[in-house]
Amino acid sequence: MSHNPIRPWRNIDRRKSRQIMVGSVPVGGDAPISVQTMTNTDSSDVAATVAQIQRAAEAGADIVRVSTPDQAATTALKEIVRESPVPIVADIHFHYKRAIEAAEAGAACLRINPGNIGDEKRVAEVIRAAKDHGCSIRIGVNAGSLEKHLLEKYGEPCPAALVESGMDHIRILQDHDFHEFKISVKASDVFMAAAAYQQLADATDAPIHLGITEAGGLTSGTIKSAIGMGNLLWMGIGDTLRVSLSADPVEEVKVGFEILKSLGLRHRGVNIISCPSCARQGFDVIKTVEALEQRLEHIKTPMSLSIIGCVVNGPGEALMTDVGFTGGGAGSGMVYLAGKQSHKMSNDQMVDHIVEAVEKRAEEIESESAAQAAE
Ligand code: SF4
């Protein structure tokens, strides 16, 4: 999907995985790598949860997870599913009845570890409910909650223990002839998570859900996630991901997309290329980029914009972007359109002008692709 014959150093060969469906969203195979987040509202509060899901979906979330710790939550889930614009994964931890209720409520996927459900009869009941209601399952192994026997065997959480746990859960689903599953082996330690995911990728063809769990706050968690998941994605590992931040779910979605955009694995919205600014800048680059990021949030069309402080790098960057602005002298700069120098624009009007130019270019790109699709 990211094969680039002209720039082969950008190629990423994705691991070949089976494809499953999470509601209407394909995960695995050659499907786009989907971005997930999780709500942090009280799940029994339908209005608040739906509002948060809608904001996450608007930011680009393909799938949203909702935790269903009690019956009030699984009851509310029915309405949440009905009003959600994206498929909902129900997060179940201990009680098998919540899993059955969530499947009945219309969850597209259950996040549950079959090995933790309890006796064989309960496992069979949950899998039957998933089959009857068209739910997939995500096995979610976490270094913080590994089974006791594995901790005893390995002494401490480690990549091999995470993978062994995951493969044990997989076996249970396969023994029940259930194959619509994906799997994660998360750890907050980047080294452990990366090693576990690499081993997992060799051990199964199931679609892989990436995550560095409990990554931290917005800045530190973003960096950790970008290093951990970025490396795995670069190796071709990962079919869906969630960035776990102690921050608004919308931020998780934005970071997830930025990671995928940096690797050319997904394209959405305006990719702003901007310089850090220095004494040479012909306008206030930082304030301008902040303003443009906000004003261009509504653009979903994949496109690029370069905002460069001066002619040192401005013309070169503008050659490769849809719209560009390079600072010059005397309170104005140069606007570039489709990689070509176009016209001068005064600094005090450039934000409005660039927003208009980007909106126009987005419309052109959309109509070009609509025309291509119609051919
Ligand atoms: S492009 Fe110009 S203004 Fe921006 S950092 Fe480089 S030299 Fe400074």
- Report CA-CA distances (Å) from 77 to 35, 38, 45, 106, 289: 21, 14, 10, 8, 40
From 273, 285, 310, 325, give the residue whose CB has the most ligand 1 atoms within 8 Å, as the site to mutate: 310
Q: Are 109 and 81 in contact (CB under 8 A)?
A: no
* pLDDT confidence bin for 6, thresholds 50/70/90: confident
Mean pLDDT, residues 347-353 taken together: 96
Please, how many CA atoms are within 13 Å of residue 193, restricted to the half-sphere of its CB?
Answer: 31
Structure confidence by residue, pLDDT tens digits, 272-303? 999 999 999 999 999 999 999 999 999 999 99
Q: Ligand 1 pocket by C-beta < 6 Å: which residues?
A: 275-278, 280-281, 308-310, 312-313
Residue 330 is predicted with a pLDDT of 86
pTM for the model stands at 0.90
**For residue 233, how far is its CA from the centre of ligand 1 (angstroms)?**
31
Mean pLDDT, residues 25-35 taken together: 97
Mean pLDDT, residues 159-183 taken together: 97
What HEC string does the chain produce?
CCCCCCCHHHCCCCCCCCCEEECCEEECCCCCCEEEEECCCCCCCHHHHHHHHHHHHHCCCCEEEEECCCHHHHHHHHHHHHHCCCCEEEECCCCHHHHHHHHHHCCCEEECCHHHCCCHHHHHHHHHHHHHCCCEEEEEEEHHHCCHHHHHHHCCCCHHHHHHHHHHHHHHHHHCCCCCEEEEEEECCHHHHHHHHHHHHHHCCCCEEECECCCCCHHHHHHHHHHHHHHHHHCCCCCEEECCCCCCHHHHHHHHHHHHHHCCCCCCCEEEEECCCCCCCCCCHHHHHHHHHHHCCCCCCCEEEEEECCCCCHHHHHCCCCEEEEECCCCEEEEEECCEEEEEEEHHHHHHHHHHHHHHHHHHHHHHHHHHHHC
Structure confidence by residue, pLDDT tens digits, 192-202? 999 999 999 99
Residue 1 is predicted with a pLDDT of 47
**For residue 279, how far is its CA from the centre of ligand 1 (angstroms)?**
8
**For residue 298, how far is its CA from the centre of ligand 1 (angstroms)?**
28
Mean pLDDT, residues 23-32 taken together: 97
From 308, 321, 325, 347, give the residue whose CB has the most ligand 1 atoms within 8 Å, as the site to mutate: 308
259 has pLDDT over 90: yes
**Residue position matching structure tokens 């208009």:** 356
Structure confidence by residue, pLDDT tens digits, 94-105? 789 999 999 999
Query: Which ligand 1 atom sits closest to the C-alpha of 311?
Result: 2
- Helices 218-234 & 249-262 angle (0-180, nearest 10): 40
**For residue 312, how far is its CA from the centre of ligand 1 (angstroms)?**
6
From 277, 289, 306, give the residue whose CB has the most ligand 1 atoms within 8 Å, as the site to mutate: 277
Specify the length of the chain in residues. 375
Residue 312 is predicted with a pLDDT of 87
**For residue 345, how far is its CA from the centre of ligand 1 (angstroms)?**
19
Q: Can you read off the two tokens belonging to residue 232? A: 């795995």
Mean pLDDT, residues 64-69 taken together: 96
The least confident of 31-45, 239-253, 308-322 is 308-322
Residue 3 is predicted with a pLDDT of 62
**For residue 124, how far is its CA from the centre of ligand 1 (angstroms)?**
63
Q: Whole-number mean pLDDT of the chain?
A: 94
Q: Which residue has the higher pLDDT, 93 or 44?
A: 44
209 has pLDDT over 50: yes
Mean pLDDT, residues 220-236 taken together: 96
